[in-house]
Structure 1
Amino acid sequence: MDEDGTYPVKLYIYDLSRGMARQLSPLMLGKQLDGIWHTAVVVHGKEFFFVGEGINSCPPGGTPLGEPDSVVDMGFTEVSAELFMEYLTSLAESTYGADKYKLFEHNCNTFSSEVAQFLTGKKIPSYITDLPSEVLSTPFGQALRPLLDSIVINPGGSNITGQR
């Protein structure tokens, strides 16, 4: 906590393709993608993210993905750790339960944007949230959609509600 009673909020951004999207996307999709983004919100000393098993947390940079490719300073929040955990629990019981994950429509980036907006009033950068529609706007993306819809991203961490 800072002197003024606020807590810093960061967005951790990971490229799940480890640079492959940048190299292969022009060939496969006919357009340049800079990465396949996984995001997490870091606040109150933990990294929070949404995966196929629900909302998870870990120490910052503590998933098998390692350190993030980039970090965006989202500003500060006055939301206490206790209130934030109540908020996350309510999300886990409603819109971000394990059965709600959808790779294109309802994923880690949807979660990060909603949580960042709750904490700071700001959404995450649009180049991240617009990626699924960019991929699906291509013939190759449409052809791959059935396969891609079956993929569940899970970089590890502990489920915040203890449900598996």
Structure 2
Amino acid sequence: MDQIHSHPVKVYIYDISKGMARQLSYAMLGKQLDGIWHTAIVIHGTEYFFGGQGISSCSPGGTILGEPDSIVDLGSTEVSSEIFLEYVVALGESTYRGDKYNLFEHNCNTFSNEVAQFLTGKKIPSYVTDLPSEVLSTPFGQALRPILDSMAVNPGGSSINRQQ
């Protein structure tokens, strides 16, 4: 009988504005934002995230963003590294290809939330997933939307794809 192993699952949360959102959001949007969030899932000693290049991975904290602003422990999973890698590669070939990236509707946080639920049944913090609708609920957010829709976040790392 195979032994079942439990693996910790964490979400790394980065403020890609490096504090600027906290300082300028009220003046620009009329509401206070604590950050512009990028998230990644850390499991099996690797950080996984979605950006304009598709799904990528690196050592934990190894993106150009440096160390995360916060780390949320989502619990643990019994999903092995082999099964997880198959799952992530399949996502990268379908739902989370680079050309499907959208800053507001299909981004790193959408990916982290879906993967967190697959692994643990838990969602990432709502203050992260609610941010796009908060920004878009403001006149300035609506005015900026055409520009922001064309943007993609690419924090580095290695692309995930099938090794042939």
TM-score, normalised on structure 1? 0.96
C-alpha distance in structure 1 between counterparts of 2:40 and 2:16, whole Å: 13
1:120 aligns with 2:120: yes
Instruction: Give the aligned partner of residue 12 of structure 2.
Output: 12
Counterpart AA for 1:135: V
Instruction: Give the aligned partner of residue 46 of structure 1.
Output: 46
Go from structure 1 to structure 2 and tell me whether the alpha carbon gap of 1:131 and 1:15 turns closer, same or farther (over 3 Å shift): same
Displacement after TM superposition at 1:4 (Å)? 6.3
Q: Which runs of 5+ in 2 are unaligned?
A: none
C-alpha distance in structure 2 between counterparts of 1:111 and 1:121, whole Å: 14
Provide, for residues 98-127 of structure 1, a one-character-per-residue CA deviation record: whole Å limited to 9, x for no partner: 111000000000000000000000010111
Instruction: Give the aligned partner of residue 78 of structure 2.
Output: 78
Q: Identity of aligned pairs, percent?
A: 75
Alpha-carbon RMSD across the aligned residues, in angstroms, is: 1.4
Displacement after TM superposition at 1:71 (Å)? 0.2
TM-score, normalised on structure 2? 0.96
What secondary structure does 2:102 align onto? coil
Residues 89 and 162 of structure 2 are in contact (CA less than 8 Å); yes or no, is this contact kept in structure 1?
Answer: no
What secondary structure does 2:142 align onto? helix
Counterpart AA for 1:116: A
Displacement after TM superposition at 1:93 (Å)? 1.1
Q: How does 1:102-113 map to 2 (within 5 A)?
A: 102-113=102-113
Counterpart AA for 1:127: Y
